[in-house]
Structure formats: structure tokens, C-alpha cells
């Protein structure tokens, strides 16, 4: 099955055609997946463990490359990029939110946000503080990740992903390690992002989270098997 | 504008670097210690080595003179002061020795004039050697004297151990010596044992010998103890001959060669020890940096995912290595200076002076060791695949 909704639209921010990913030349993680994401859409990718959700997200975030198939992001054929161009494209186009938060343990919340600015262009402490204020952590800027709760760490991660105004926000199980209260806080931030017009591609197991999305696609054994609006 | 961006980037980089180092202070401290030990030995051994030629040269002077001055027309078959009495002919004028005090002085530990003659002591023919006891003690401190050294002014003598044994002479004995009907009554101040020809001589103050032998203002030979740290012995010998044309300066080859060989061996030993210690420092540094990279694989993956290029990752780790190298280098140089003093005091009996070359040399060696030992671990760091590390594989 392919999901090509909007494939013909001019402003398609992500356009994947027949994406296939083989590990070690034989293990098929993605099997001819075709998918298009219009700008401003919130797309959820669901599926059982090992279905290829994270692999698809890694390829769209330019952390990994497909074995075959075409991937056009924001009008760029990323397959043609050199590793250095991919790195630059990633820092300028994509914001990443991980299930495990992945904050640098010896940097404060503020410095973790500034890190993304530093790699993008230049660190701006005031702007980073403002981003932490926006997600309700203005008073916790000087805390290390170990001094923050899981929900707070994930909010710092979101602030870091947003700080460079990326065109696409990619999130891999962003509420997977959170309790209900923190999940609500984090989802509220994603709703706000969506309202602000960000394109969100989110991997989740949680149907309640998926219900917030504009569209849900389901993967199984590397194939797209279902699409729900 | 570009400068401001660079400045802010630099500030953030230093912030990350400082926090990263602080976060692993124990491991970093071990690496600094390893580099410090290497650098301290480089510093100590460089100080000693640069100072060693002088110090060892002076120490080796204790084993005798290495240049012998004889009158130019003379052809004395001399070793290190060996004398064939019958071959004495022309003499060196004492006034000529003033030349040794000028520009030759910096290349000498000292010199000792000798005037020889054959005198009668208790119906026995004995070689009388007039010399300067003060200068002898400076150049030949190993002479074993039973009793005491004679006074230069009093009518006293130092009797060689073989002569003393033959004539049953002890310190305090009276010693009448005669030469061409001139008699001097001396008192034996001490018995000397040198293991060389002095053991069969009677030694008196130079002035006394000149008076008795009727050779005022003259000496037979001069033993010169030349320093080898700044120029070869042969160069000093030729310098002496230029200043004193009436004198032939003979290099005593055996001692000079032995001295050069000992110095060479000392320097080789120092170099081997330094290399081994530096190798150990480098291995510790490799181990520390490899462990650091392994421990931080996820962090590196994250930085790569956030858009850090390979160059940025290499820059961060190389800056950490450089910080370790510079810290270890500076501390090592200070420690090395103290180690050099201990070596100097223990081996040469004097402190070692700090050469201006030592600090930059130690720092450069520490930096090269730290950076070169980090090349392989850093290569590993820049090749971290963010997709794999962030999913925990």
C-alpha cells in the first residue's frame, strides 16, 4: 500500500517514493514505502515493534540513508547529498525529539538548548531562555538533566528542537517514557506547534496520541498497511 | 558581525569544553598525571642533559688532567704526568702561565704547575716535585693524604707513599733534602697515596723547589684540566698553543676519549629513559581518550544528530587532549625542574640551572604526545553513527 495523498501538490515538504532499507544487505526494515507529507500536517506513524517506524523517521531526519527509493525533503533530493551536506541540511531543516530525551548530561537545560543554536549558527542565551520560558521551564534553566523530571527533560528536548525554527519536527515516541500528567504537558506543546503551522511527523504506539494527528499511517514488517484520517 | 558570531561561537565552545572536562575530572586528572610524569622527565632530563656536559665534565676532572703543557723543544714521553727524569731540558717560564687566566680560563677546571728535580734524601735519589698544593687539591681531589696537606709557606713536604715506606717516614718526621750542596730541612706534613708517580716523589711548594733547584720562576710541566662541555679538549689545547707559542699542549687522549664515552653513555641512557616514559604517557593517554570516546558514544551521536559535523566533534576532543597536554606540560615542567635539582645535587653535587629551552621543549613534547595519542580515539569519535547510537545499539 502507498499513501500518496497530496503527492501531486506543489508544496509537499516530505515526499518519499518506494523507500526501501536493508540492513546487512538482507534484513528488510522498510519495504517500498511511498508517503507524502504536506506542510503543516501532523502525521503519526504507528505500528508494532520492529515494523520500521524508527527507520523511516531516521531516513526522513537524514540520520540514515535508504537502500533504494527516492526522498525529496523541502524540494531537495537528499540522496544526492554528501555526508557533510546531510549534516548541514539536518541542522537547518529538522528538529528532533527522542523518546529517551538525549540531553547532554553535564550541560544545564539552558546550555542544552543553546547547543542546537551553536551547531546551527550561533548561541543566543536570551533566545534560549525565552524558549525555556515558553515551555514553562524558565525557572529551571540552570538545572542539569539529572535534576529535572522526565517530563521536564522532554520539554527541554522540545525547546531544543524548536529553537532553530525547523521546517519539520520529527518525534520518536516523545511521550513513551512519561506519566499521564507530563504526557499531557508535552502533547499540549505539540498541539501548539501544530497550531503554529509546524509540520510534525511523530512515531507513537499510543492511540490517544495518534488521535491528535491529522493523519495516521500504520507500518507492519516495513510496509505501509493502513492510512487513517 | 562575522567577528561577533565567531566570538560567541568561541565562548560556547569553551563553555562546552570546560563543562566536559569538569564532568570527567577524575579521568582527566589521570591523563594529566600521565602527561605530567612524561613532561617532568623530559624537563628534568633535558635540564640535566643540557647541564650534564658541564657537570659531568667537572666531575670527570676529578680523574686527572687532560692536557699536558711541556716546553716546545722538549719531547718528554709523558702519559698523564709520567716523567722521565733524564729527559728534562728546557723549562716553561712561570710568567707565561698568565695566558691561561684570560680567554682560556672559561674552558678549564684548573691547572697545576710542576717543577721536577732529583734530590738526595737519606743517601737516596728521589724525585722532588715542586707544585701548588692549592691547585692540586682543586684538580686532583682524589689524592689520599695521611696527616695533612703541607702549608705553602712553611718548610713542609708531602711524601709519596712508596718513598715514605722505603725511608720509614711518618707525618711529623724531619726530612733533610739536598741538591748540589744546598740543603733544606723540611717537616713531613703528610703521606700521599695517588696510585700514580706521585707515590715515588717528594712534593714541596713550588717556590721551595725552585729555590732548592736554583730554577726560580720556572716549571717543568703544567697539567691542565680542560672542560669539555663547550668545546673539545683538542680545541682548548690548540688555543693554549696559540697563546703560549713556547709551549706544546699535548692532549692526553686516553682520558679525553674515556670522558667523551662516559658522557655519551649518560646521554644515551637519559634518552632511552625519556623515550620509555613518553611511550607510557602516550599509552595512558590513548587509553583515557578511548575510554572517554566509548563512554560518550551516545553524546557524540546526539551532537551529530543535532547537526555537529565531524570537524566539530574532532575539534572538541582534540581541544580536550590539548588541554590535558598543556596542563600536564606546564605542571610537568615545574616538577621536572625539582627532579633535575635532586639529580644535580645527588650526582654532581650542585644544582642544575634552568635552560630557557627546557620549558618550550617540555610543553611541545607534552602537547605532541597528548594530541598524537588522541588521533585514533578521535577518529573513532567522528565515525560514530548517530542513527545506531541513538537507538541504543
Query: Is there a domain that residue B3 lies in?
Result: no
Query: Is there a domain that residue A7 lies in?
Result: no
- Residue B364 and residue B306 share a domain: yes
pLDDT digits (tens, 9 = 90+) for A112-122: 999 999 999 88
What pLDDT is attached to residue B75?
47
Task: For chain B, give the secondary structure using H, E and C.
Answer: CHHHHHHHHHHHHHHHHHHHHHHCHHHHHHHHHHHHHHHHHHHHHHHHHHHHHHHHHHHHHCCCCCEEEEECCCCCCCCCCCCCHHHCCCCEEHHHHHHHHCCCHHHEEEEEEEEEEEEEECCEEEEEEEECHHHHHHHCCCCEEEECCCCCCCCEEEEEHHHHHHHCCCCCCEEEEEECCEEEEEEEEEEEECCCHHHHEEEEEHHHHHHHHCCCCEECEEEEEECCCCCCHHHHHHHHHHHCCCEEEEECHHHHHHHHHHHHHHHHHHHHHHHHHHHHHHHHHHHHHHHHHHHCHHHHHHHHHCCCCHHHHHHHHHHHHHHHHHHHHHHHHHHHHHHHHHHHHHHHCCCCCCCCCHHHHHHHHHHHHHHHHHHHHHHHHHCCCHHHHHCCC
Query: Is there a domain that residue B8 lies in?
Result: no
Q: Do A115 and B306 touch (CB under 8 A)?
A: yes
Q: Do A160 and B306 touch (CB under 8 A)?
A: yes
Q: Which residues on neighbouring strands pair with residue A219, listed in sequence order?
A: A224
pLDDT over 90 at B270, yes or no:
no
Looking at the complex, report in whole angstroms how far the Cα of residue A125 sits from the nearest Cα belonging to chain B.
10
In contact, B159 and B121? CB cutoff 8 Å: no
- Residue B72 and residue B53 share a domain: no
Distance of CA B353 to the CA centre of its chain: 11
- Residue B114 and residue B77 share a domain: yes
Give the domain-ending residue among B251, B271, B288. Answer: B251
Q: Do A106 and B22 touch (CB under 8 A)?
A: yes
Chain A residue with minimal CA distance to B311?
A84
- Residue B314 and residue B273 share a domain: yes
Please report residues of B whose CB lies closer than 8 A to that of A83.
310
Q: Do A122 and B8 touch (CB under 8 A)?
A: yes
Q: Do A63 and B19 touch (CB under 8 A)?
A: no
- Residue B85 and residue B155 share a domain: yes
Out of B9, B20, B310, closest to residue A118 by CB: B9
Binned at pLDDT 50, 70 and 90, residue B84 comes out as very low
- Residue B73 and residue B53 share a domain: no
3-class DSSP assignment, residue A19:
strand
pLDDT over 90 at B66, yes or no:
no
Looking at the complex, report in whole angstroms how far the Cα of residue B334 sits from the nearest Cα belonging to chain A.
32
Out of A92, A106, A120, closest to residue B23 by CB: A106
Nearest to A167 by CA among A136, A197, A127: A197
What pLDDT is attached to residue B80?
41
pLDDT over 90 at B355, yes or no:
no
Residue B178 CA: distances (Å) to CA of B162, B205, B220, B285: 19, 16, 19, 77
Please report residues of B whose CB lies closer than 8 A to that of A98.
390
Give the domain-ending residue among B227, B251, B275. Answer: B251
pLDDT digits (tens, 9 = 90+) for A143-178: 999 999 999 999 999 999 999 989 999 999 998 888
Strands B144-147 and B67-71: unpaired
Query: Is there a domain that residue A149 lies in?
Result: yes
Looking at the complex, report in whole angstroms how far the Cα of residue A58 sits from the nearest Cα belonging to chain B.
7
Looking at the complex, report in whole angstroms how far the Cα of residue A223 sits from the nearest Cα belonging to chain B.
20
Nearest to B337 by CA among B46, B24, B68, B57: B46
Binned at pLDDT 50, 70 and 90, residue B365 comes out as very high
pLDDT digits (tens, 9 = 90+) for A174-194: 988 888 888 898 899 999 999
Q: What angle do CA B214, B220, B221 make, to 5 degrees?
A: 155
Q: Which of residues 114-173 of A touch B (CB under 8 A)?
A: 114-116, 118-124, 160
Please report residues of B whose CB lies closer than 8 A to that of A107.
16, 19
Number of domains making up chain B:
2
Binned at pLDDT 50, 70 and 90, residue B16 comes out as very high
Q: What is the mean pLDDT of residues B262-267?
A: 69
Looking at the complex, report in whole angstroms how far the Cα of residue A75 sits from the nearest Cα belonging to chain B.
20
Query: Is there a domain that residue B348 lies in?
Result: yes
pLDDT over 50 at A69, yes or no:
yes
Query: Is there a domain that residue B6 lies in?
Result: no
Q: Do B9 and A84 touch (CB under 8 A)?
A: no
Residue environment code for B104-115, b if the CB has 16+ CB neighbours within 10 A, otherwise e: beebbbbbbbbb
Residue of B306, B308, B313, B316 to mutate when probing chain A, most A C-beta within 10 A: B306
Residue B383 structural domain: 14-58+261-390
pLDDT over 70 at B127, yes or no:
yes
- Residue B273 and residue B230 share a domain: no
Q: What is the mean pLDDT of residues B73-100?
A: 61
- Residue B219 and residue B83 share a domain: yes
pLDDT over 60 at B39, yes or no:
yes
pLDDT over 80 at B101, yes or no:
no
Residue A27 structural domain: 14-228
Q: Which of A141-145, A221-225, B19-23, B193-197 is predicted least confidently? A: B193-197
The packing angle between helices B310-343 and B358-382, to 10°, is 150
Please report residues of A whose CB lies closer than 8 A to that of B298.
102
Number of domains making up chain A:
1
pLDDT over 90 at B249, yes or no:
no
Query: Is there a domain that residue A3 lies in?
Result: no
Query: Is there a domain that residue A1 lies in?
Result: no
Looking at the complex, report in whole angstroms how far the Cα of residue A8 sits from the nearest Cα belonging to chain B.
30
Please report residues of A whose CB lies closer than 8 A to that of B391.
54, 58
CA distance B130 to B126: 13
What pLDDT is attached to residue A93?
92
Nearest to B286 by CA among B39, B41, B35: B35
pLDDT over 80 at B153, yes or no:
yes
pLDDT digits (tens, 9 = 90+) for B317-328: 999 999 999 999
Query: Is there a domain that residue A106 lies in?
Result: yes
What pLDDT is attached to residue A13?
93
Residue B267 CA: distances (Å) to CA of B38, B47, B260: 17, 12, 11
Question: A104 touching B, CB under 8 A?
Answer: yes
Query: Is there a domain that residue A86 lies in?
Result: yes
Residue of A61, A99, A104 to mutate when probing chain B, most B C-beta within 10 A: A104
- Residue B376 and residue B268 share a domain: yes
- Residue B229 and residue B162 share a domain: yes
Name residues whose C-beta falls within 8 Å of residue A133's C-beta, 6 or more positions apart in sequence: none
Query: Is there a domain that residue B4 lies in?
Result: no
Chain B residue with minimal CA distance to A107?
B19
Looking at the complex, report in whole angstroms how far the Cα of residue B352 sits from the nearest Cα belonging to chain A.
45
Give the domain-ending residue among B191, B220, B251. Answer: B251
Question: A70 touching B, CB under 8 A?
Answer: no
Query: Is there a domain that residue B191 lies in?
Result: yes
- Residue B237 and residue B146 share a domain: yes
Q: Do B308 and A58 touch (CB under 8 A)?
A: no
- Residue B50 and residue B155 share a domain: no
Q: Kindly report the CATH number assigned to the domain that includes residue A46.
A: 3.40.50.300
pLDDT over 90 at A38, yes or no:
yes
Q: In chain B, what percentage of residues exceed pLDDT 70? A: 85
Whole-number mean pLDDT of chain B? 83
Amino acid at each position: 500500500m502507498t499513501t500518496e495523498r497530496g503527492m501531486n501538490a506543489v508544496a509537499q515538504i516530505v515526499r518519499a517514493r518506494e523507500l526501501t532499507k536493508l540492513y546487512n544487505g538482507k534484513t528488510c526494515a522498510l519495504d517500498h514505502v511511498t508517503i507524502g507529507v504536506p506542510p503543516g500536517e501532523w502525521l503519526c506513524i504507528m505500528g508494532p515493534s520492529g515494523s520500521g517506524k524508527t527507520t523511516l523517521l531516521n531516513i526522513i531526519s537524514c540520520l540514515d540513508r535508504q537502500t533504494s527509493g527516492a526522498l525529496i525533503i523541502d524540494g531537495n533530493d537528499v540522496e544526492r547529498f554528501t555526508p557533510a551536506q546531510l549534516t548541514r541540511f539536518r541542522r537547518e531543516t529538522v528538529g528532533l525529539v527522542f523518546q529517551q530525551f538525549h540531553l547532554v548530561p553535564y550541560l544545564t537545560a539552558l546550555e542544552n538548548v543553546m547547543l542546537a543554536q551553536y551547531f546551527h549558527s550561533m548561541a543566543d542565551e536570551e533566545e534560549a531562555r525565552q524558549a525555556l520560558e515558553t515551555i514553562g521551564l524558565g525557572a529551571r534553566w540552570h538545572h542539569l538533566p539529572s535534576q529535572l523530571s522526565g517530563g521536564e527533560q522532554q520539554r527541554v528536548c522540545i525547546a531544543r528542537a524548536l529553537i532553530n525554527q525547523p521546517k519539520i519536527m520529527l518525534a520518536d515516541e516523545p511521550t513513551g517514557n512519561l506519566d499521564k500528567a507530563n504526557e499531557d504537558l508535552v502533547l499540549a506543546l505539540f498541539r501548539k506547534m501544530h497550531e503554529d503551522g509546524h509540520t510534525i511527523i511523530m512515531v507513537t504506539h499510543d492511540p490517544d496520541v495518534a488521535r491528535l494527528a491529522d493523519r495516521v499511517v500504520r507500518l507492519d514488517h516495513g510496509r505501509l498497511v493502513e492510512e487513517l484520517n | 558581525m562575522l567577528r561577533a558570531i565567531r566570538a560567541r561561537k568561541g565562548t560556547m565552545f569553551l563553555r562546552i569544553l570546560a563543562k566536559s572536562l569538569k564532568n570527567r575530572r577524575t579521568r582527566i586528572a589521570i591523563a594529566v598525571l600521565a602527561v605530567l610524569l612524561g613532561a617532568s622527565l623530559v624537563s628534568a632530563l633535558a635540564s640535566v642533559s643540557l647541564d650534564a656536559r658541564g657537570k659531568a665534565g667537572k666531575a670527570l676532572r676529578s680523574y686527572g688532567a687532560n692536557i699536558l703543557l711541556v716546553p716546545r723543544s722538549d719531547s718528554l714521553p709523558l702519559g698523564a704526568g709520567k716523567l722521565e727524569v733524564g729527559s728534562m731540558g728546557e723549562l716553561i717560564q712561570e710568567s707565561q702561565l698568565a695566558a691561561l687566566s684570560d680567554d682560556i680560563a672559561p674552558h678549564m677546571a684548573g691547572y697545576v704547575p710542576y717543577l721536577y728535580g732529583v734530590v738526595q734524601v737519606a743517601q737516596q735519589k728521589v724525585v722532588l716535585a715542586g707544585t701548588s698544593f692549592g691547585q692540586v687539591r682543586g684538580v686532583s681531589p682524589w689524592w689520599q693524604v695521611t696527616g695533612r696537606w703541607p702549608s705553602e709557606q712553611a718548610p713542609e713536604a708531602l711524601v709519596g707513599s712508596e718513598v715514605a715506606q722505603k725511608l720509614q717516614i711518618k707525618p711529623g718526621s724531619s726530612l733533610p733534602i739536598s741538591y748540589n750542596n744546598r740543603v733544606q730541612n723540611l717537616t713531613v706534613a703528610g703521606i700521599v697515596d695517588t696510585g700514580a708517580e706521585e707515590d715515588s716523589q717528594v712534593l714541596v711548594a713550588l717556590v721551595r723547589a725552585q729555590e732548592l733547584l736554583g730554577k726560580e720562576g720556572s716549571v717543568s710541566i703544567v697539567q691542565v684540566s680542560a672542560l669539555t662541555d663547550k668545546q673539545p679538549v683538542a680545541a682548548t689545547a690548540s688555543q693554549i698553543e696559540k697563546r703560549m707559542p713556547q709551549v706544546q699542549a699535548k692532549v692526553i687522549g686516553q682520558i679525553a676519549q674515556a670522558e667523551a664515552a662516559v658522557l655519551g653513555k649518560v646521554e644515551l641512557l637519559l634518552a632511552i629513559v625519556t623515550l620509555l616514559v613518553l611511550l607510557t604517557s602516550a599509552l595512558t593517554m590513548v587509553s583515557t581518550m578511548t575510554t572517554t570516546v566509548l563512554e560518550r558514544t551516545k553524546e557524540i551521536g546526539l551532537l551529530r544528530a543535532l547537526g555537529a559535523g565531524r570537524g566539530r566533534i574532532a575539534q572538541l576532543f582534540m581541544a580536550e587532549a590539548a588541554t590535558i597536554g598543556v596542563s600536564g606540560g606546564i605542571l610537568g615542567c615545574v616538577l621536572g625542574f625539582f627532579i633535575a635539582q635532586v639529580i644535580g645535587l645527588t650526582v654532581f653535587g650542585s644544582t642544575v640551572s634552568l635552560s630557557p629551552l627546557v620549558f618550550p621543549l617540555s610543553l611541545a613534547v607534552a602537547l605532541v604526545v597528548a594530541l598524537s595519542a588522541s588521533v585514533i580515539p578521535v577518529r573513532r569519535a567522528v565515525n560514530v553513527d548517530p542513527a545506531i547510537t541513538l537507538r541504543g545499539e
